A and B are shown apart, each in its own frame.
Chain A
Amino acid sequence: MSLRIAIDIGGTFTDFVCLNEETGQVIDEKAHTTPENFANGVINAIEKTGIDLAQTVYFVHGTTVVINAVTERKGAKTALVTTKGFRDVLEIGRANRPDLYNYFYKKPRPFVPRHLRFEVDERLNYKGEVLKSVSEEEVVEVARKIKKEGVAAVAVCLLHSYANPEHERLVGRILARELPGVEITISSDLIKEWREYERTSTTVLNAYVKPAATRYLDTLQERLEEMGLKVEPHAMLSNGGTATFARSKEVPITLIESGPVGGVIGAAALGKIIGEDNLITFDIGGTTAKTSLISRGEVKITTDYKLEWTPKYAGYPVKTPIVDIIEIGAGGGSIAWIDDVGVLKVGPQSAGADPGPACYGLGGTEPTLTDANLIAGRIDPNSFLGGEFKVNLDLARKAMEPIARHFGISIEEAALGVIKTANNNMLNALKLISVRRGYDPRDFVMVAMGGNGAVHGPFLAAELKVGKLIVPNMPATFSAWGMLMTDLRQDFIQTQIMPVIGCDLDRVNAIYQEMEQEALAVYEKQGISPEDIVFVRTADLRYIGQEHTVRTPVGNGIIREEDLITIRKAFDRNHHQQYTFSLDYAPAEFVNFNLTAFGMVKKPEMKKMPPAGSLHDALKGERVIDFDEHGRLMSKVYARGMLGPGHKIQGPAAIEEPKSVTILYPGQTLEVDDYGNLIIYTGV
């Protein structure tokens, strides 16, 4: 019993990482993702490695089942019950029109059609006081109507339920009694934060995905148990923590970004080990590039997530906490094309895994970023994916030909144009997460991951003025490794507006205690002992008159008068950091009280590598790589598997490993650290 296993489903590949705690050995494996039944891909990946699941002590799974149920609109037929006068709130949304000049703009369509949105004549005010009580008779009547419609899930979201959940609980209980077999979600079980549209949207989405998530997690668990798994499996949550499958089924919306967060948590964990706490993660896979920022060891969490949002589309708010990641359509499979006025664009359309880039020879004819990297010599046709997958340079060149012809340039120049354009898109995403949010990239270290992260990372880090770049071990499956480094996590938010100085301290202390009790109860069911639970409190504050809030740390234990001054000062400091000014003289107020409850899990220890052999042994040979403005340079090629602590390499060079390659630019230096990470000094 000593295996720790993580499985991460991506758009193209399902990644598997297994750590043997006794030997320290890590195995990674990739299998094709199987969209028709994701569990198959998971089972395939496990079978490929031949490990014995009975030896597993910890199993964590990053799943796309929730996001897929939503994007493919394959969730359950769902009804909504809300306060009288407000059934259209879900469809009105906030009425914003982000596509400014488009008369044909289409708002997000509600997940519950109008005839399945029911009202009950009850009312609270913003203090949570009852203006009109719930009539049981009326709710029973609503249940009768819902039953006739044959829905599988019901969402309940009543006005001001964040201030007083009693009405929602009552309605929920009656509906559960009247509608056996129907999944009920009430908003106050998910979030106790104001803004009715955002809360309703979150509740509806949770209800909508609940049956599908339950089915998937149950099936997978069954099959894993058949294969010998004896421990309760965990799912990766969008907030960067984990929860047991049992808990995840209750709040499946917290799995919405289950997939991409592993890499960010992994980077934070890696940073801790090697003593770097300001990190920018950079993950390029087959279809997208993702970046996130870790400041002072803290992964940035957002509660302003909007599903399917684009700058021109309002999207669907999900108010549960989610790791703040910027994702753009720029990956290896991104297609290069010429726009209306003759300008080259790359992505967001991707050739995906099938047909894939032209060089795969699977029928793809459009030029992709991978084709361009192949033509530029950055990827070696003979050792792509460790040589297990043959790629064809001629097909790549043929696909690139129309672009070359359009601009009247050579195929090599066209390939560089594609790389340059893709790099520029990625650089914009990197700036968005750093510079544009008030962070100076020079204070950060970049961590490159994903199959293509280390191809583009060294160049982009230098462009962004990041001095140091880390390519961790097994960068292509790093996200799955990151999942092994996570703790259980629950987030609670309670809206309660009151001035900071002169607030009702009893109420404040009661709110935190209630949230802590709730967290303990949930963990007890998951078998976590109290000494492994860590609470982190924050509060959202703002200057009175403002709308936006700033998250501010709050100490544990009983909060006293003098603590309020500490909180207030911390708020001013954080406000200044985020918004460049603070109003130290203006009165401030609490808006939300937040609690994060971690259930600490034993994590694998990273072992130092044995001393390296001679660098010469790692040298595989030489090839010409096109470094654009530096020219086409003869570059040494190294096998990463043969590199070890203390090895130093000067660019230009390529470091190849089975599922990735690192491109070191002229003027850059690479060192291998004690753990086998490649540390690149970018030359800025």
Chain B
Amino acid sequence: MAKVDPFTRENIAQGLIAAAEEMFLTWGRTSQSTIIYEVLDYACGLTDARGNLIAQANGVTGFLGAITYSVISTLEKFGPENLKPGDIILTNDPFTGSGTHLCDVSAVLPIFYDGELVAFAANKGHWNEIGGKNLGSWSTNATEIYQEGLQFPVIKIYEEGKLNEAVRDMIAANCRTPDMTLGDLYAQTASLRIAEKRVLELFDKYGKDAVMESIETLLENGRKLALKELAKIPKGTFEAESYIDANANGLGDVYIKVKVTITDDSFVVDLSESGNQIAAPINCTRFGAYSAGRIIYHALLNPDAEPNEGFYSPLKVVVREGSVFAAVRPAPVSTNWEALSHITDLVAKALAPVIPERITAGHFLSIIGTILAGIEDGTGQPFVLCEPQAGGWGAGYNKDGENGLVAIADGETYMIPVEVAEYKYPIIVEQYAFNLNTGAGKFRGGCGLIRDYRLLNSNAELTTIVSRHRIPPWGFAGGKDGSPNVVEIHPADGSEPIIGATFSNYPMRKGDLVRFISGCGGGYGDPLERPVDKVWQDVKDEYITIETAAREYGVIIDPVTLEVDREKTEKLREEMSRQN
């Protein structure tokens, strides 16, 4: 018989989740850095004394593994016996647990109750500037991690409450914006202390045994939920392969492959047959692969589940050291989101045919990381437009794909309004509209976006990193593929546009126009099964042309009256389905 009644236990569990959320809000509120409080590129969580994730609050998906492995790397380096109240450990080491790239810094605070280590509060977020060869620290053409900024190899920034001033001064000396970077550090660590306070309040109010029992129940419930969902999924091994086609540093495509094996109590993602790491920053480390595994596992099993170790316990991610998904030093990793995103997509593609009710067709996937930077003519001040793009999502068994939505690696991420962009940067946005090359299907893929920037400044440099440039998002169950991501530069002099994917510091001049075309999502099901009325509505709404209606969907619509010729349509559809 439980010592605590189930309702109190649940209240305590909710209190722990609320502590993680409050840490998240506090950091957002106290940060001086836009990438934290606007882009929400950070995460906060609590683990038990062994590093098992109890609760996590996220602004984007990419940090799902970060809390767990940051704490575990802390325990591995110091051992619990060398952690003291008031310590805060800093790590951004992608190869030992922090997981993503150097800009993302994890901080870990051990929580003690009555002298005993009972839990950890940990968080991780994107620092604007951490040194390295490029302003903003990430680049699309690094060849070694040493070009990507300052490294914190699991170090104590606070020892028993005392700030390590030597480390602080080194940070200040190695970053281009020392005030802001140190501001990030203080906001991040202060939010850890809020979580510590809330957790200790729960211990004080309910007693240690009750809290420990609640944590156990919470993890147990997470595992129960996962097993329940696994029971509903077909068992077996499922495979998919593709390429990361960003062509970074001109190194061409990287082959990637997954084998997913599902049993009653395990979900194994084996990536070991994927290609080798390359001397371009698209690699991820094994910890990035673990995070990616969690994202897609979470999505497939139960998107509403609370993120905790119990829920993730059936998941195992297998990688091969030195591969693009488990890069080792000195591989550059600053645009690791490319590898991470492709893992989620490979698993989705492998499982889509067997669990179509749990996954939608391929989406534009690459976040199309973009930097447009230069010195403004009028003021002589630097400007840096740094943003992801949104694109088209895939169709599913019961819905069309979404039009213009950020990629899986993003989350509560907002596109910059046109009116704000034109005020802040010397550009005119000439259009922000749908890309209509959607994947046909019984359910149609979602529209990508077209965003045009015309440069008003005498010159600027463009940097982009884009995959899914050659290989479009996949359709399934008879649905057609979507369309790829493309970046076009239209020179002011009217000469031929330059069409590509990854650009590094490409020089632009006044009047040049850069067009970002994000891909459209893949379709689901046979396009000939799409109800004629829906095809007609798509034509009426100009999501598809009259020609596309005939060619892909076999629906004949009169260009003048916009009426469907039912008879001809029936004939054409019959003929098309015979040919298939």
Contacts and interface: CB of A to CB of B under 8 A. Distances in A.
B295 A98 contact: no
B431 A196 contact: no
B77 interface: no
B386 interface: no
A95 interface: yes
A110 to B, nearest CB: 10
A396 to B, nearest CB: 18
B221 A97 contact: no
A70 to B, nearest CB: 21
B174 interface: no
B6 A344 contact: yes
A647 B400 CA distance: 65
B360 to A, nearest CB: 5
A195 B420 contact: yes
A424 B11 contact: yes
Contacts of A91: 403-404, 434
A97 B413 contact: yes
A304 to B, nearest CB: 12
B404 A95 contact: yes
Contact of B6 (A159, A160, A198, A417): A417
Nearest to A89: B432
Contact of B37 (A86, A342, A548): A548
B295 A101 contact: yes
B414 A96 contact: yes
Interface in A84-137: 85-89, 91-107, 113-115, 125-126, 131
A102 B402 CA distance: 12
B298 A194 contact: no
Contact of B8 (A88, A341, A420): A420
B419 A103 contact: no
B146 interface: no
A125 B221 CA distance: 55
Contacts of A94: 414-415, 417
A533 interface: no
B433 A85 contact: yes
Given A94-B415, A431-B18, A104 B404 contact: no
Q: Which residue, of A100, A195, A342, A583, has the highest number of chain B Cβ atoms within 10 A?
A: A100
B81 interface: no
Contact of B396 (A104, A114, A438): A104
B410 interface: yes
Interface stretch (A26-34, A280-288, A574-582, A595-603): A574-582
B331 interface: no
Contact of A107 (B22, B304, B402, B449): B402
A196 B396 contact: no
Interface stretch (B321-329, B498-506, B537-545, B568-576): B537-545
Contacts of B169: none
A299 B405 CA distance: 35
B413 A96 contact: yes
Residue with the greatest number of chain B CB neighbours at <10 A, chosen from A89, A101, A344, A581: A101
A196 B418 contact: yes
Interface stretch (B25-33, B155-163, B369-377): B25-33
A629 B109 CA distance: 34
B218 to A, nearest CB: 10
Given A194-B420, A428-B14, A101 B431 contact: no
B441 to A, nearest CB: 15
Given A97-B411, A197-B417, A421-B7, A85 B430 contact: yes
A340 B299 contact: no
B405 A436 contact: no
A581 B27 CA distance: 12
Interface string A543-558: 0011110000000000
B402 A547 contact: no
Contact of A340 (B225, B403, B404, B423): B225
Given A125-B428, A424-B11, A580-B30, A407 B414 contact: no
Contacts of B402: 105-107
A103 B412 contact: no
A497 interface: yes
A195 B417 contact: yes
A101 B299 contact: yes
B298 A92 contact: no
B25 to A, nearest CB: 5
A606 interface: no
B246 to A, nearest CB: 21
Contacts of B22: 435-436
A126 B159 CA distance: 50
Given A88-B434, A436-B25, A115 B221 contact: no
Contact of A341 (B224, B303, B428): B224
Contacts of A101: 61, 295, 298-299, 303
Interface in B31-75: 32, 34, 37-38, 58, 60-61
Nearest to A116: B541
Contacts of B419: 126, 159-160, 162, 194-196
A611 B298 CA distance: 65
B541 A113 contact: yes
Interface in A424-472: 424, 428, 431, 435-436, 438
A248 B117 CA distance: 60
Contacts of B396: 103-104
A416 interface: yes
Interface string B1-21: 000011110110010001000
B563 interface: no
B419 to A, nearest CB: 4
Interface string A399-428: 000000001010001001100110010001
Given A85-B431, A96-B414, A126-B422, A428 B18 contact: yes
Contacts of A98: 411-412
B406 interface: yes
A341 B25 CA distance: 28
B228 interface: yes
A307 B262 CA distance: 41
B390 A341 contact: no
Interface string B382-412: 0000000010011010110011111000111
A103 to B, nearest CB: 5
A169 to B, nearest CB: 18
A623 B221 CA distance: 39
A143 B120 CA distance: 63
B542 A96 contact: no
Contacts of A107: 402-405
Most buried by A among B221, B348, B415, B419: B419
A159 B432 CA distance: 12
Nearest to B430: A85
A98 B61 CA distance: 10
Contacts of A85: 429-433, 452
A92 B390 contact: yes
A114 B541 contact: yes
A104 B406 CA distance: 13
Given A85-B433, A95-B390, A103-B396, A196 B11 contact: no
B359 interface: yes
A104 B412 CA distance: 16
Given A88-B449, A89-B432, A104-B303, 19 more contacts: A88-B403, A88-B433, A88-B434, A92-B415, A94-B415, A100-B61, A101-B298, A101-B303, A103-B299, A126-B423, A160-B422, A196-B418, A340-B228, A421-B7, A421-B11, A424-B10, A436-B25, A578-B29, A581-B30
14 contacts: A95-B404, A97-B410, A97-B412, A99-B303, A101-B303, A106-B399, A160-B422, A343-B6, A343-B221, A420-B8, A424-B10, A424-B11, A546-B32, A547-B38
**Which 6 residue pairs across A and B have the least CB separation, nearest first?**
A95-B390, A85-B431, A114-B541, A102-B303, A101-B303, A417-B7
Interface of A: 85-89, 91-107, 113-115, 125-126, 131, 159-160, 162, 194-198, 340-344, 407, 409, 413, 416-417, 420-421, 424, 428, 431, 435-436, 438, 497, 545-548, 578-581, 583
